[in-house]
Amino acid sequence: MQNCLLTKKKWSKGKVKDKANNAVVCDKATFDRIMKEVPTYKLISQSVLIDRMKINGSLARVAIRHLEKEGLIKPVVHHTSQLVYTRAIAAEAE
């Protein structure tokens, strides 16, 4: 009985996630990479751009809007919290 009272409870630290170091400003190299690679993705969303391009969320939204205006991607689902796009296929332009 006394062993229970004398030993301290070991608390776990829980899962510690690494802090993301995503770009906040779009430089020339990042912009060129976005313009070249993103229109080839089958699924384009804010979270996909954040994960693959290592940019922050506001920069990802601006990039998606720019690509849509250029006609390189087309919307699939347009919701206030999640925008889902896909690549614009040249065969549909016929």
End-to-end CA gap in the chain? 82
- Over residues 8-30, mean pLDDT: 82
pLDDT of residue 42: 93
What pLDDT band is residue 69 in, cutting at 50, 70 and 90? very high
Q: How high is the pLDDT of residue 94?
A: 47
Q: Does residue 14 lie within any of the structural domains?
A: no
CATH number where 54 lies: 1.10.10.10
Report yes or no on 16 lying in a domain: no
Q: For residue 88, how far is the Cα from the chain centroid?
A: 20
Number of domains in the chain: 1
- Residue 11 resides in a domain: no
Residue 35 lies in a domain: yes
Residue whose C-alpha is closest to residue 23's, from 31, 12, 13, 11: 31
Question: 33: closest CA among 67, 69, 82?
Answer: 67
